[in-house]
Amino acid sequence: MDNGASSYRRFLAGDDEGLADIIRTYRDGLIFYLNGFVNDIHTAEDLAEDVLVKLAVKKPAFREKSSFKTWLYTIGRNEACTYLRRHKITYVPLEEVPAQAAVGDAPEIGYFRNEKSRALHMCLAGLKSEYHQVLWLYYFDELPAKEIAVVMKKSVHNVETLLYRARKAARSALEAEGLNDENL
């Protein structure tokens, strides 16, 4: 059973601890996912807060057609797109963003638990934005292709093709950095 779904049902039934569980479980991952859209961690934090407030105040219906995490990330993606549209910000692919501080200085470094995640994160900055998004959802948020398709509003076949191409591009980026990951 999806822990997020059961926590949300508890919250809807009147148990405020259910919402607290959702925030503890999904807040950081949602922030880092949204940061991929807005390229500003503070704005991503605000957007994640907006998504969680929307859950608390509007209490949208969760129809369980996908996992709770997929549903939550879809709401987050919609919030990010609305933010970009309202502020007339053109989504800038990550490959065009000026180089930032070293990866070790990035605020999300604590989120990455193992060497494979860190190596993949390092190479994501140089990939096309769609590649970045699909790899993030697949590796870091561990969503299956079917749920990624829901979040990205693409067909499962398109996601699988995108995932194949993103892996290939990431593998090339890793090899260019002198790293080799056979399992990517």
Instruction: Check the CA dihedral 92-74-80-40 and report its sign.
Output: negative
Rounded CA separation 25/87 (Å): 29
Place 142 in a pLDDT band, splitting at 50, 70 and 90.
Answer: confident
pLDDT higher than threshold 90 for residue 130: no
Return the pLDDT at 179: 62
Return the pLDDT at 124: 73
Average pLDDT (54-80) is: 91
Return the pLDDT at 102: 42
Return the pLDDT at 104: 47
Domains and CATH numbers, the chain: 1-91 (1.10.1740.10), 100-184 (1.10.10.10)
Rounded CA separation 78/86 (Å): 12
> Does residue 139 contact residue 120 with C-beta atoms inside 8 Å?
yes
Token reading at 36: 């991929």
Return the pLDDT at 100: 42
What are the Cα distances from residue 92, in Å, to 35, 37, 40? Answer: 12, 8, 12
CA-based max dimension of the chain: 53
pLDDT higher than threshold 50 for residue 106: yes
